[in-house]
Structure 1
């Protein structure tokens, strides 16, 4: 029985496959994330469809029998959108649309749509539009045959509404224009960064929805937008934080995510300049998430892509107030004790040994252990400042950390 939801939400089905590289538990986690993405975009996942396959069907992604099951469910339950967990080729999207006769999106298109909603500044909107146009270009052929039944909503924001009737030449011209516009804005932003003087730069990085903006608000006493949705923060925010007479710049950057679309990594590399130019990274992690270690790996991979993996980094494990280990029945001798049964103290021991003294455990929301966090950040910033400006380190004596902010 389908649970009734807000009628304003767009009804969708989610589709994913189990392969040799992605078992059932991994697929469930990805679909959980895809469902959260769907909610963030303004939709409601009515049902999930999964299938075990050695590799995706090159024509329809899933098999014909499973596709018929999806089609029947869509027709019987008034579903308007089918969302696939992996990126579809232009041919797959075209073939699936003909069979299902509804709007067909993949994870990339869904993330692009969320970015289109979240972009506030002209720069961010330009970057999103560039990524959307690059995604749209190889799919123009299919657009002619099925876009007439796409009436807006998820996946149809931004250039999709104005570029439907264009041909490849016009889209290529648009891409060139957007790239030129981004280059000009990049120059302006480079001047702005240069005008910030010689202050130490600290950047918050991490997976999406780990609490970076909440931590930013707590440290800098600012009002950065934060909510429990993916990609709540898209535009980079920079705040000046002063500890006594030692100032530094703190930036909050866009969250990362697994299977991040290539178009977004490329078009948002300029936004990530704040990360590349930072002197210190605060890698924020949601320790309450059961797969936070994979999130860490995903972030580290992207940091490597933007040549920032070698920067001094403090691992900040956030949301300790929400962390709960799964209980293990001591009488159950068959169940193997795994990392999901670790206590918070055991995780602390594990990660302290992995990264030396570069791990902190806090709750930004409830302000737990923030004094340790403030002291550590102050020590790191002061050390960087003294190293860079040895002639004036005497200006910055030890400081009462309670006054931070």
Structure 2
């Protein structure tokens, strides 16, 4: 794991709390990419064209890099190719910005062909306007691997354009696959609930509280390669609850499609449980809700979204009511909860249960035989047995998904 220093330049007139939150998120992003953050460097100044931060501060940063034996510097601010080159020359180590860090994480997390294509497209679209600068800097300093981009000829810009066209064509041929995903979800025969929301919203804590299990859940961004899934039983209905992905603030526009392609597990769900941190400022809550719904987009069409307003216990009734009024259009009929204390979780389970795909009721009569007993056991596993009577035959009132009901229809007394 590479030792890294994270850097953030703040505009002098920006909000301190917002700056602090963004810096904390950058550290989490670095952690998600398997870097060890050994130092933090912050300066409040308007951007410097050559270095992003002040020229004198670059020398201080270089000293920090040397003293901490850091191998990489990651800026929260977007850097030009020239700035990256100049900073790397002074600090004598690799330099990247937040966009490149996210790109690196997505490249590692992408598992489907579509996701990999979207990541590659984002990378090319990022490089295209900078192509001439990259080639110029390559000629200026021919260190192999500068920017991790390798050696390029003057045709680099044209090569990028051709690759962009090729990838876009292939993506159009692939389609978004939402219909096949939805079919797959129904064929699996059980109800799926996917947890979604921004990092630090309390998603992992809620997961642990709902499944009542001391499961080690990674509080890390973009962990879609190894989502954690546990079973949850509510009113005899079995659900699979999956803790999926933590969204991030200010996702670069070029990365939106690539990010959506990492969310296939969410779109397999019957219900998306969207967790919101109510302790955030109300304008941030609105922004996060709006972006979340935008991310779900058309691919979540037909999927129920249940909004859980977490950390409600940290607010007074008056504060809660004021925020509720402001976000009511983005969070209709939300459930107020505290994942940590357990407040509101019974109500949340009730809402989840009410939004599960409806199952069919049926009364059946099966023979009192080894085959009949085997069917009873199977129905207990696959559905809900409301009543059962043993006599010359076994009479049952069951509730199950359509696929199961169709299989027992020959034994139906009445539906």
Matches within 5 A, 1:9-158: 9-20=2-13, 22-53=14-45, 55-140=46-131, 141-142=133-134, 144=138, 148=143
Matches within 5 A, 1:357-396: 357-363=333-339, 369-381=344-356
Query: Residues 95-134 of structure 1, C-alpha deviation per residue, up to 9 Å, x if partnerless?
Result: 3333333211111111111222323334333332322232
Match of 1:176 in 2: 165
| Larger CA Rg, structure 1 vs 2 | 2
| 8 Å contact kept, 1:16–1:31 | no
Structure 1 position 179, deviation (Å): 2.9
- Structure 2's unaligned 5+ residue stretches are 364-382, 387-398, 400-415
* Residues 269 and 33 of structure 1, relative CA distance in 2, 3 Å threshold: closer
Q: CA RMSD in A?
A: 4.7
Match of 1:303 in 2: 293
| CA distance in structure 2 between the aligned counterparts of 1:125 and 1:168, rounded to whole angstroms | 21
| 8 Å contact kept, 1:351–1:359 | no
* Residues 146 and 73 of structure 1, relative CA distance in 2, 3 Å threshold: farther
Structure 1 position 235, deviation (Å): 8.5
| 8 Å contact kept, 2:29–2:102 | yes
Structure 1 position 64, deviation (Å): 1.9
Structure 1 position 260, deviation (Å): 0.6
| 8 Å contact kept, 2:38–2:68 | no
* Residues 213 and 127 of structure 1, relative CA distance in 2, 3 Å threshold: farther
| Corresponding residue SS for 1:148 | coil
Match of 2:257 in 1: 266
| CA distance in structure 2 between the aligned counterparts of 1:58 and 1:115, rounded to whole angstroms | 29
| Corresponding residue SS for 2:247 | coil
* Residues 13 and 279 of structure 1, relative CA distance in 2, 3 Å threshold: closer
| Corresponding residue SS for 1:134 | helix
Question: Does the alignment pair 1:294 with 2:321?
Answer: no
Question: Does the alignment pair 1:164 with 2:139?
Answer: no
* Residues 147 and 266 of structure 1, relative CA distance in 2, 3 Å threshold: farther
- Structure 1's unaligned 5+ residue stretches are 1-7, 326-341, 387-391
| 8 Å contact kept, 1:14–1:45 | no
Structure 1 position 29, deviation (Å): 2.0
| 8 Å contact kept, 1:257–1:299 | no
1:231 to 197, 201, 222: 222
| CA distance in structure 1 between the aligned counterparts of 2:16 and 2:207, rounded to whole angstroms | 36
Structure 1 position 81, deviation (Å): 1.7
Structure 1 position 265, deviation (Å): 0.5
| Corresponding residue SS for 1:193 | helix
Using the size of structure 1 for normalisation, the TM-score is 0.66
| 8 Å contact kept, 2:335–2:348 | no
| CA distance in structure 2 between the aligned counterparts of 1:147 and 1:300, rounded to whole angstroms | 45
| 8 Å contact kept, 1:14–1:35 | no
Query: Residues 224-268 of structure 1, C-alpha deviation per residue, up to 9 Å, x if partnerless?
Result: 994121222269999999977989998866432112122210334
Query: Residues 126-150 of structure 1, C-alpha deviation per residue, up to 9 Å, x if partnerless?
Result: 3323222322333444362568376
| Corresponding residue SS for 2:246 | coil
